[in-house]
Amino acid sequence: MSESLKDSTDETVTVDLDEARGAYVIRDDSGTDAGRAFFLNAPGGERIFYHTEVDEAFGGRGLSKVLVAQSLADSRERGVTVVPVCPLFVRKLADTGDDYLEQGGKFRKATGADIDIVKREA
């Protein structure tokens, strides 16, 4: 991934997939981790997004929006079905889910079994 993006203050940021940590990581232009969107890989090529955080020092820059959007875009490109548990992902897909589907993305609503996976694994 690691394409250059801009936050709401027009600063350059990057978003990368960190498979080892089970997260997408957003970094500022110096390479400092500013936030993470955590997920669990589930059977059937699904990815359960369960928590997103941006460090306080980077607040007010719209980084969570960039992070969620890029996490969804990369998941779409990889053919992964997104299962949103994190409220930010739930809200984003509620607002733009039809567009996401039209662009080839896949998602489904979380079930109790998905919540159980998060509680057990995260």
- What sign does the dihedral 47-90-106-43 (CA atoms) show? positive
What φ, ψ does residue 55 adopt, rounded to 5°?
-60, 140
- The domain 4-121 is placed in CATH, from the list 3.40.50.620, 3.40.50.970, 3.40.630.30, 3.40.50.1400, at 3.40.630.30
Residue 43: which residues within 8 A CB-CB, separation 6 or more?
none
What does pTM read for this prediction? 0.93
On the question of pLDDT at 1 being above 70, the answer is: no
**Is the pLDDT reported for residue 75 higher than 90?**
yes
Give the model's pLDDT for residue 2.
55
Residues 6+ apart with CB under 8 A from 39: 22, 23, 24, 47, 48, 49, 50, 71
Q: What is the pLDDT of residue 4?
A: 72
**What are the residue boundaries of the structural domains of the chain, listed by start?**
4-121
Please write the tens of the pLDDT for every residue from 14-41. Answer: 999 999 999 999 999 999 999 999 999 9
Taking the CB of residue 45, how many other CB atoms lie within 10 A of it?
12
